[in-house]
Amino acid sequence: MRILVSNDDGIFSPGLLALARAASEFGEVRIVAPDVEQSSMGHAITHSRPLVCRSADVGDFEAYRVNGTPADCVALGMYRWGEVDAVVSGINLGLNLGNSTWHSGTLAAAKQAVLLNRQGIAFSAPSFDHHESYEPLVPFVAEVLDRLLGDEGFPLVNVNLPAEPRGLRWTRQSVRHYAGAVVPGEHPAGHEHFWFVVKPVEEVEEGSDRWAVEEGYVSMTPLRLDLTDVDALRRARASFEGRPPDRDAPRG
């Protein structure tokens, strides 16, 4: 099995090496990751300048750094390697729970794999400085990979690991409201600048990704790329279809 490893923290992230080590138990591993941090870039792609892929020194792995986004890295990595079976992304230095999935570059790398008809699994954990801190998580990452890799029933899974896991749980994405707070500060040069801060503002609901990690479990959330609101679509079709256009209805 060919497993492409990427991330959004950059090629020299300690979490990337831990994930590559875990994945290497399951097949041939190649790393293609951004040359600098691309956190919170979401599913951005680079279309207005060329991308360059340079080799990099990451453990004993064949590794490449790319001057692009996580999604770029996956697209380029799959193009250059050929028959990739799965893409694993992370381990992100920071959890990607609930609404973070909208901003996450880690998850975007996994989503890019799914767009290209391959399995994508994203891994995130609390942020640690040293790769040794990620070593205790490797057995849990391996357990998740053992369950999921190659299973067509799980094309896209968002996995979050607490610092000291005590088991695994299947969860749903928490979509409670959050504060996209803007916090002003002052730049050393004197002008005002701003930090964008994302915090949940409602309590966690049992069964959600956030709940599982707070309870000390590895959270596994199966996701899909189809964002269609199926209930709204059903209501819309029931209300509007088959009726002649109403010429007197107000526009706008």
Closer CB to Mn ion, 39 or 112, in the complex: 39
Count of residues touching Mn ion (by CB under 5 A) = 4
Rounded Cα gap, residues 149 and 151, in angstroms: 6
- Contact range with Mn ion by CB under 5 A, out of 2-10, 59-67, 81-89, 111-119: 2-10
Nearer to Mn ion, 40 or 173 (CB): 40
C-beta of 39 vs 158, nearer to Mn ion: 39
- Among 8, 35, 72, 209, interactor with Mn ion by CB under 5 A: 8
Secondary structure (H, E, C), the chain: CEEEEECCCCCCCHHHHHHHHHHCCCCEEEEEEECCCCCCCCCCCCCCCCCCEEEEEECCEEEEEECCCHHHHHHHHHHHHCCCCEEEEEEEECCCCHHHHHCCHHHHHHHHHHHCCCEEEEEEECCCCCHHHHHHHHHHHHHHHHHHCCCCCCCEEEEECCCCCCCEEECECCCCCEEEEEEEEECCCCCEEEEEEEEECCCCCCCEHHHHHHCCCEEEEECCCCCCCHHHHHHHHHHHCCCCCCCCCCCC
Nearer Cβ to Mn ion, position 9 or 35?
Answer: 9
**40 or 208: CB nearest Mn ion:** 40
**Closest distance between Mn ion and the C-beta of residue 56, in Å?**
17
In this structure, are residues 220 and 144 in contact, taking their beta carbons and an 8 Å threshold?
A: yes
CA–CA separation, 237 vs 244, rounded Å?
Answer: 13
Least Å distance, CB 95 to Mn ion, is 10
Q: Between residues 27 and 94, which has the closer beta carbon with respect to Mn ion?
A: 94
Least separation in angstroms between residue 8's CB and Mn ion is: 4
Residue 197 or 233: which CB sits closer to Mn ion?
197
User: Binding Mn ion by CB under 5 A: which of 6, 39, 89, 219?
Assistant: 39
Contact positions with Mn ion (CB under 5 A) in 74-113: 92
Selected range binding Mn ion among 4-12, 162-170, 186-194, 222-230, rule: CB under 5 A? 4-12
Residue 158 lies near Mn ion (rule: CB under 5 A): no
Q: Which of 9, 35, 72, 209 binds Mn ion (CB under 5 A)?
A: 9
Q: Where do contacts with Mn ion occur on this chain (CB under 5 A)?
A: 8-9, 39, 92
